[in-house]
Structure 1
Amino acid sequence: MASLLSLAVWWVMFLESLEAPAETTPATTPATTARPGLQGQMFSVNTGGSVTLRSDDLVSLSSFTVCLRHISELPETQKFFQLNLGGFNSISLSGTFEKFTLKLGNQFSQYSQYFSTAFPSFYYQKWPWTTMCVTWESGGGMAQLWRNGKTSVRKGLFQGQVLIGKPLLTISGFTGQVTDLHVWDYVLSRGEIASFSGGSVAREGTVFSWYSAQYSSSGYVVLEGLQIFSAALPSDQRLPESLAREKADLKMRRKTRRRNSKRGQPRRVTYSIAVTTGNMLNAGTVDDIYLTLVGTEGVSRRTHLNNFGRDFAAGSMESVFGGYP
């Protein structure tokens, strides 16, 4: 009888073991995540710290775009990122302030001058962040660097080559804050880069996306929310109200200009004051006035007023603003 009871107990335990799911041991990768990733967050990287983004997918890059935002004050050269795909298949960007070196494989180009595009510059001056984008395509080998919406000269680099491997992106040798790092396997359009520079991400990265990145960190690195900066980017990636209003106003002014042009009215650029520096009460007596003007054509100019009070009293505003260009 006892043997039959033992056999029954064993049979029940056996059936339960078939129904129960097998236990798995989770990966021990430190500070690693899938979704929701790093949206609305930033890494504060201190001396000796590093951040790594990884992917298990094999990629083949005949073109790419890398974009990120950073805050840093160190005057010496820093390495903003290094993307390794194995062997000589690597991409890195290093430099400081406005002089940067882009390296692909065993070749490199340096960039030190940046030129305004047709997009209004005030879209790129609202953040504490500096926006960087790098583009490259294998066919012509043309590489280009974008900084805060301004573009560098296009330079030939690593022409005809294709980068193949499993991507591993490292932020090391950098001190400051970094956020919104995306990597695409194609060259973003000028409009998409302008949108990124203005604070939004039209399409997340295809090789690495900040929104779904698997990451790990070592050394003195702190993961924080963007909201600690008063002018930080909103987590939903919408333009803040002030920028949205400026964008809507600019669109309306352009629409009015086109309508007036069709009616035969002369086209001219008018300016509105965007930034004022100086004491208006003491203008022309103690302090000078500096105005940054934003025009209806999307152009900006800086005007120095040292006789504002005299010209204003005389009603000669055209002499103050220099008339229309």
Structure 2
Amino acid sequence: MTPKKPMNLTAFTLCIRMATELSRERTIILFAYRTQFWDELNVWRETDDRLGLFLASNSRGGVFFRLPQLGALETHVCVTWNSSSGLTAFYMDGKKSPSKIYKKGHSVQPGGRVIIGQDPDNYVDLFDAKQSFVGEISDINMWDYVLCPHTIKALYAGQRVATGNIFDWDTAELIIKGRPGRVEVVDNEHVA
């Protein structure tokens, strides 16, 4: 995905609709933003079903949340983070987790690449198939501020809200890489 503006972030809300039948026996990455030197912003599902947010991490130093298991039924997942307070929370289907403090005073650096469903082990696209996402991902939106809980609940319910000012799924530029037939962009409005 190509961002609408540089990802120089001191706060954000990232929302994704997804479904997967992958077993809990492996970690999967939902969203990866990597600069030349390290992972700037990653969202993972761990083998114990925790969701994790990692900022500026060349190690496993993230913040983890125990939420209901992701599965084959479509789930709307959002994560919010604010540098000034460090407050971080996940939302699942419009319901908020407890907040945790993570990376207070940090800022996400611009100039990287966003990859959906795969961990870029370095900046030149080396991938590990055992970390890839298998399933459906859609409706990725991102804002450079924290949305209020009411707006996230409305977004989950499919109501009209201000579109993401970093990523807007309806207008996002998607570049597909991978073996033919393994990654498809499907218009959900026309799926039977």
Give the TM bin, normalised by the shorter chain.
0.7 to 0.9
In structure 2, which of residues 156, 162, 183 is the aligned counterpart of residue 221 of structure 1? Answer: 183
Distance 1:57 1:190 in 2: 24
Distance 1:224 1:136 in 2: 30
Aligned to 2:140: 181
Task: Using the TM superposition, give the Cα deviation of residue 196 of structure 1 relative to its aligned residue in structure 2, in angstroms.
Answer: 1.3
Q: Which string of whole-angstrom CA distances, capped at 9 and with x for unpartnered residues, describes residues 191-236 of structure 1?
A: 1100111123411111111122122112211111213656xxxxxx
Aligned amino acid, residue 68 of structure 1: I
Task: Tell me, yes or no, if structure 1 residue 100 matches structure 2 residue 57.
Answer: no
Q: CA deviation at 1:59?
A: 3.5
| 1:151 and 2:113 correspond | no
How many Å separate the matches in 2 of 1:201 and 1:216? 26
Closer, same or farther in 2 for the Cα pair 1:85/1:201, shift >3 Å?
A: farther
Which 5+ residue runs of structure 1 have no aligned equivalent? 1-52, 115-127, 231-325
Q: Secondary structure at the match of 2:184?
A: strand
What TM-score results when the alignment is normalised by the length of structure 2? 0.77
Residue 194 of structure 1 aligns to a residue whose secondary structure is helix
Deviation at 1:88, TM superposition (A): 4.2
Larger radius of gyration: 1
1:48 corresponds to: none
1:207 aligns with 2:166: yes
Structure 1 89/158 Cα, relative in aligned 2: closer, same or farther at 3 Å?
farther
> In structure 2, what is the Cα distance between the partners aligned to 1:134 and 1:201?
19
CA contact (8 A) 2:65 2:90 kept: yes
- Identity across matched positions, percent: 24
Q: Matches of residues 72-221 of structure 1 in structure 2 within 5 Å?
A: 72-76=20-24, 77-88=27-38, 90-95=40-45, 98-106=49-57, 107-113=61-67, 128-171=73-116, 172=118, 173-219=132-178, 220-221=182-183
Distance 1:113 1:163 in 2: 25
Q: What secondary structure is seen at the aligned counterpart in 2 of 1:55?
A: coil
RMSD between superposed Cα atoms in Å: 2.3
Q: How many angstroms apart in 2 are the aligned matches of 1:200 and 1:166? A: 32
**In structure 1, distance between residues paired with 2:140 and 2:112:** 14
Q: Tell me how far apart the structure 1 counterparts of residues 41 and 112 of structure 2 sit (CA, whole Å).
A: 10
Q: Say which structure, 1 or 2, has more relative contact order (CA 8 Å, 6+ apart).
A: 2
CA–CA separation in structure 2 for the residues paired with 1:132 and 1:89: 20
Paired residues of 1:69 and 1:129 also in contact (CA < 8 A): yes
Poorly superposed stretches of 4+, deviation over 4 Å: none
CA contact (8 A) 2:55 2:108 kept: no
Gaps of 5+ in 2: 119-131
CA deviation digits over 1:156-203, x for unaligned, max 9?
Answer: 111101112135211111000111101110001111100111123411
1: CA distance, partners of 2:141 / 2:2: 12
Cα deviation 1:30-57 (Å, max 9, x = unaligned):
xxxxxxxxxxxxxxxxxxxxxxx12374
